[in-house]
């Protein structure tokens, strides 16, 4: 398999993970989405965890609303308090839009990318995944690695276990683990989201 087509595939994975992190909406969170999602989960050998998610979704009277409530609690405003804001700066600067967000934006710029006007903050998990997708699409694997090491992993390795531990819905546990899987080169920082 050529490097280019692998990059293309990886680019899709990043884009898909970005999709998984969007606020749940039946417009896109539909049968096709879940089919693709569970197909990926199965391929990675996490069939029983996938089954657990399916069970919870089918048992719920309104599965999308249940995901919306959990998304709000985890990532927007919740009670007790928002569990895991999906912004790098929150973990690196203890603030929204701190110096780390600016560094992230500078990296995008240096690679020739900008933020769209209606976008969220540059260090939002979704945009970082989109950026990774665009980088690998351009086959800039060195850039991908540099971004992952210097700007992504340092905060993501704090974010991921927080969600894994606190979430009340297995879908989000799976999503953060999938992101962890695709952004970790084995034996690089030796980090596993759920070491057990």
Partner 1 sequence: MAFNVTRRKFLQTASLAAVSIPLSKVVCAETGVTKASLEPKGTMNDTTVVGGLCEMCFWRCQMVGKVRDGQLIKLEGNPKSIDNGTSICARGNAGIKLLYDVDRLKYPLKNVGKRGEPVWKRISWQEALDECGSKLKAVVDQHGPQGICVFPHGASAKYPMHYFERTVGTHNVSEASFFQCRGVRDTAYMASINEAPEEYVDMANAKVIFLVGCHFGENIHVSHTKNYIKGLQNGAKLIVADPRYSASAAKSDIWVQIKPGTDTAYLLAIMNYLVQNKKYNQEFVTNHTAGFDKFSQSIAEWTLDKAAKECEIPAAQIKEVADLLAANAPNVTIHPGRFSSWYGNDFQRGRALACLTALLGAYYVKGGWLPPKKPKLSKTSWAAEEHGNEHNLNYHNNKMHHPYAPPGTPTELIRDCAISGKPYPIKGCVVWGQNPMQTIPNQEKMKQVFKAMDFVMCVDVMPTDVTMWADILLPESSYLERYDEIKVGATYVKADDKEPTQYIAPRYPMVEPQFERKDQVYITNEIAKRMGHEKDIPVQSLEELVNKTLEASKTTLASIKAEGGIHLQPGKPAGAVPEDFMVQLFSDEIADAGFPGAPTYIPVENVPAGHARLLFGRAPVHSFSRTQNNIWLHHAMPVNPVWLNDTVAAKLGLKEGDSVGFINSEGVKSRTTTIVKVTPGIRKDCVYMYHGYGMVNPMLSICGGKGVDEQSLITKIAIDPESGVHGMRNNFVKLTKDGKTLDMPA
Instruction: Show contacts with partner 1 in window 85-114 (CB under 8 A).
Output: 85, 87, 90, 94-98, 101-102, 105-106, 108-110, 112-114
Half-sphere exposure of 27 (CA within 13 A, CB side): 4
Stretch that binds partner 1, among 53-61, 67-75, 142-150, 151-159 (CB under 8 A): 67-75
Is residue 181 close enough to count as binding partner 1 by CB under 8 A? yes
Residue 162 near partner 1 by CB under 8 A: no
- Give the integer Cα–Cα distance in Å for 123 and 2: 31
Instruction: Report the 10 Å Cβ neighbour count for 16.
Output: 17
Q: Which stretch binds partner 1 (CB under 8 A): 11-19, 53-61, 147-155?
A: 11-19
Is 13 one of the binding residues for partner 1 (CB under 8 A)?
Answer: yes
Structure tokens belonging to residue 66: 């249940």
Kindly tell me which of 57 and 102 has the beta carbon lying closer to partner 1.
102
Count CB neighbours of 172 within 10 A. 24
């Amino acid at each position: 398999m050529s490097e280019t087509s692998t990059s293309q595939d990886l680019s899709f994975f990043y884009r898909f993970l970005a999709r998984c992190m969007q606020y749940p909406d039946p417009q896109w969170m539909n049968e096709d989405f879940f089919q693709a999602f569970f197909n990926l989960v199965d391929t990675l050998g996490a069939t029983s965890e996938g089954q657990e998610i399916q069970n919870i979704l089918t048992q719920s009277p309104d599965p999308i609303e249940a995901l919306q409530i959990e998304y709000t609690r985890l990532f927007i405003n919740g009670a007790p308090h928002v569990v895991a804001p999906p912004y790098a700066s929150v973990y690196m600067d203890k603030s929204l839009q701190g110096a780390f967000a600016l560094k992230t934006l500078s990296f995008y710029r240096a690679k020739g990318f900008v933020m769209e006007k209606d976008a969220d903050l540059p260090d939002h998990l979704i945009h970082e995944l989109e950026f990774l997708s665009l980088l690998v699409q351009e086959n800039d694997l060195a850039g991908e690695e540099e971004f992952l090491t210097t700007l992504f992993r340092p905060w993501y390795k704090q974010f991921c276990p927080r969600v894994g531990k606190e979430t009340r819905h297995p879908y989000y546990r799976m999503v953060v683990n999938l992101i962890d899987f695709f952004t970790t080169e084995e034996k690089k920082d030796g980090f596993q989201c759920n070491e057990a």
